[in-house]
Structure 1
Amino acid sequence: MPEQTTKPASPFCLRLTPEERATLEREAAGLPLGEYIRKQVFDENCLRRRTRNKHPVKDHKLLSQLLGELGRLRLANNLNQLAKSANCGLLNLTPEVKTSLLNACADIRHIRETLMKSLGLDR
């Protein structure tokens, strides 16, 4: 008896005006258009395909503010200088240096939390 194979789903082409496509993409909010249209036509509770979101950033304004803050603070450069001084034995741990290190840690923690929030990751 010959083995039966399942036929792949056939594609369906739909022509849209640029305005219609822009509206669909806005309403899809980052979902692939095919998945969004399928949900709208068939059922919101239909089996969802596992795909990557085209736009993982949930809050672009927040992300751009964070990137500006990163550039302004120059944290990577400052931490590199501290590490270099510590490796050479030149880092004198005065109260001011300790405060600066704690502030840098707080800044990094804030940046991490803001990045996670802008990407829609709750923790």
Structure 2
Amino acid sequence: MSQSLTQTRYTISEVEARTGLTQHTLRWYERIGLMPHVDRSHSGQRRFTDKDLDWLAFVGKLRSTGMSVADMVRYAELVRAGEHTVEERRELLERTRRDVRARITELTDALGVLDYKIDMYAMKTVAGKAHR
């Protein structure tokens, strides 16, 4: 078989090392339907592909948005269901984007307060040293 037709396969240990996800988490993702079907070797060992690694990277981004596991599983189900679910997938991602933007606004406001307080303390520290 030519190299272009072969596909790199990774063991669960290799995926753990590449992604930072524990083997327990990877098995759980598969069990709850967050991972698509993972191929197995003749001995039953999971064999992940580059496509699986790309999916896990995307799931990691969804997790960092604060998306619930239930919504991530729903999104995965929609992807597996096919092209007729594109609109629903888009709506789910748009809702998540709105939530992320709201959190960014909240964090930006909180950062402004922290910056103000830090600047106040820095000025007091400089003023206190000037009077010594």
Q: What's the TM-score, normalizing by structure 1?
A: 0.29
Q: Give the greater-gyration-radius structure (CA).
A: 1
User: Larger RCO: Structure 1 or Structure 2 (Cα < 8 Å, ≥ 6 residues apart)?
Assistant: 1
